[in-house]
């Protein structure tokens, strides 16, 4: 299973070796590696062997198909999907953010429907639920606000009731420094990030809800170096992103154990696949292209402030690009976790977000991206996971309103 030098992933020396000791985990790992190599072989290796060069044009982002896939779901999302009723605001965010990363046009009637639908999810006492008439919850509140921000539309931003939203955020604050996800709900790392990111992006006074938050976050850093969802739990890529982004928002990152965090995060990129795993000894998953990948530009920024920037970067961006385009892109539109998984809005959003981050890394360090300039995506702000232009549009609007 040797691969040409043009690709950094799919190298036989990094194939899984379980020394003949059968386990479910090693079997799954080998199966994923075989699928990835088969995809890689059909895309690149055969043209390489016959012509002497790899046909990288085969690794083009299928923008039109992804756009059609996202719009098809987005047009139906506000009015259907009853089985996913509590996730409908999330589905709007995933689809809209993905379309903006693709630099795709969203029809005006769809934009209006999304604004009206999310307004129907806004709780009278502040915050948003996953669907109309549902309990206000920090997760769909984050999703709803970031979706409205992503639309880059003044009517969308005007629809956010900042006064009741801030009351809801303050009501969720717990004396420990953390936040309830909803009234009487759980307290974990997601809620801290969702509250702070939502507060910051709409220009509300972050200092009024930030007391003790940084200290609570630090209590969740595990012996491995990453962060768990709450104190004394396993380090996890999603929670670690939430922790790092929250500390950056608070300007309190120096409280973290940087060295152990660097060790843990840099070891989550899979040597053979090129993508990221979410936890130690787990399988690769496309969504961690963002959850793990977005941590690195945030760490870069903190290290630069300390005069410790690394010229080569903290992860292999080209390998991540390879995993995404070889293993996650569907020829029918949408992105997925692994080659044999179905596409969904969640993975489409976070895979594209991770690819945008990888491309910026590759351009800064290699001057090129996989597949050529035709593949360039819109840049995202990794703190919020919305495009830079969306975040800037919101900042300008809320500064003057």
282 belongs to the catalytic site: yes
182 belongs to the catalytic site: no
Catalytic residue among 193, 242, 337, 397: 337
Contacts of 332-335 with CB under 8 Å at 24 or more apart are 332/65, 332/69, 333/62, 333/65, 333/66, 333/67, 333/68, 333/69, 333/70, 334/65, 334/66, 334/69, 334/70, 335/66, 335/286
- CA separation for the pair 72, 109 (Å, rounded): 13
344 belongs to the catalytic site: yes
332 belongs to the catalytic site: no
DSSP conformation class of 323: H
Rg, Å, the chain Cα set: 21
With contact defined as beta carbons under 8 Å apart, do 68 and 122 qualify?
no
Strands 386-387 and 380-381: antiparallel
Catalytic residue among 75, 282, 341, 365: 282
Catalytic residue among 288, 323, 346, 350: 288
Number of DSSP helices (H) and strands (E) in the chain, helices first: 17, 2
Contacts of residue 50, defined as CB under 8 A and 6 or more positions apart, other chains included, come to none
Catalytic residue among 123, 190, 242, 285: 285
Catalytic residue among 75, 171, 344, 395: 344
Helix, strand or coil for residue 176? coil
Residue 296: name the closest of 276, 314, 274 by CA: 314
288 belongs to the catalytic site: yes
Residue 299: name the closest of 346, 340, 247, 344 by CA: 247
Catalytic residue among 100, 279, 318, 336: 279
Give CA separation, 93 vs 125, 330, 370, in Å: 22, 21, 27
Give the ranges where 325-383 is alpha helix by DSSP (H).
345-365
Catalytic residue among 137, 268, 347, 360: 347
Catalytic residue among 220, 287, 328, 349: 287
Would you please indicate which residues are annotated as catalytic (active-site) residues?
Answer: 236, 279, 282, 285, 287-288, 337, 344, 347
């Amino acid at each position: 299973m040797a691969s040409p030098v043009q690709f950094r992933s799919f190298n036989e020396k990094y194939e899984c070796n379980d020394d003949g000791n059968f386990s479910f985990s090693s079997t799954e790992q080998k199966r994923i590696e075989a699928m990835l190599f088969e995809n890689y072989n059909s895309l690149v290796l055969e043209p390489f062997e016959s012509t002497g060069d790899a046909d990288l044009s085969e690794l083009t982002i299928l923008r039109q198909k992804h756009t059609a896939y996202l719009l098809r779901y987005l047009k139906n999302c506000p009015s259907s999907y009853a089985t996913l009723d509590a996730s409908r605001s999330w589905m709007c965010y995933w689809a809209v953010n993905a379309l903006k990363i693709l630099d795709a046009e969203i029809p005006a009637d769809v934009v209006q429907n999304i604004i009206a639908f999310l307004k129907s999810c806004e709780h009278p006492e502040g915050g948003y639920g996953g669907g109309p008439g549902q309990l206000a919850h920090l997760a769909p509140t984050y999703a709803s606000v970031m979706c409205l921000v992503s639309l880059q539309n003044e009517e969308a931003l005007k629809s956010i009731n900042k006064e009741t939203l801030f009351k809801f955020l303050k009501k969720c604050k717990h004396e420990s420094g953390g936040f309830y996800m909803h009234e009487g709900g759980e307290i974990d790392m997601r809620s801290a990030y969702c509250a702070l990111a939502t507060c910051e992006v709409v220009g509300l006074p972050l200092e009024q809800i930030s007391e003790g938050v940084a200290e609570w976050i630090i209590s969740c850093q595990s012996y491995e170096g990453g962060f768990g969802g709450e104190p004394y739990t396993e380090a996890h890529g999603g929670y670690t992103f939430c922790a790092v982004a929250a500390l950056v928002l608070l300007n309190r990152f120096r409280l973290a154990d940087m060295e152990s965090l660097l060790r843990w995060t840099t070891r989550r990129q899979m040597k053979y696949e090129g993508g990221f795993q979410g936890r130690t000894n787990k399988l690769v998953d496309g969504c961690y292209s963002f959850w793990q990948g977005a941590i690195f530009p945030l760490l870069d920024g903190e290290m630069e402030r300390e005069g410790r920037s690394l010229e080569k970067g903290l992860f292999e961006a080209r390998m991540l690009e390879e995993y995404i385009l070889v293993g996650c892109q569907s020829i029918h539109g949408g992105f997925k976790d692994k080659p044999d998984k179905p596409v969904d809005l969640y993975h489409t959003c976070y895979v594209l977000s991770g690819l945008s981050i990888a491309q910026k890394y590759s351009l800064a360090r290699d001057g090129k991206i996989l597949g050529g300039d035709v593949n360039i995506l819109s840049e995202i702000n990794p703190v919020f996971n919305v495009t830079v232009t969306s975040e800037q549009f919101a900042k300008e609007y809320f500064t003057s309103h």
